[in-house]
Amino acid sequence: MAADVSERGPSGAAQTLAGFLAAAGIFVSLAGVAYRPLRLIPIAVVLSLLAVAIGGRSARLATAAVFIGAAAFAVGMALAVITSNPLW
């Protein structure tokens, strides 16, 4: 019997890639708080959303990365406005 691809889920390499994308999303989000939030944080959120779309064993990490990106965007924009630093 052939197994359906949709039932198996992502492969090991895809799950590893999702974990790396989620970790990169968190790192870039936190770097964006300190340096140009409007340039870095949207890219980090896209990386995190790609990790969520891939899924697998890193689904919780990817979901956390999306929420960290959203919080980093709010904090980074507020800090940039308060301190009169450039947004981009």
* Tens-digit pLDDT profile for residues 2-29: 555 555 667 788 899 999 999 999 999 9
SS3 77: helix
pTM of the model: 0.83
DSSP for residue 83: T
DSSP for residue 72: H
**77 neighbors 71 (Cβ within 8 angstroms):** no
Cα separation of 40 and 9, whole Å?
30
Q: Name the least confident of 22-31, 46-55, 79-88.
A: 79-88
Cα separation of 66 and 40, whole Å?
14
Cα separation of 67 and 46, whole Å?
12
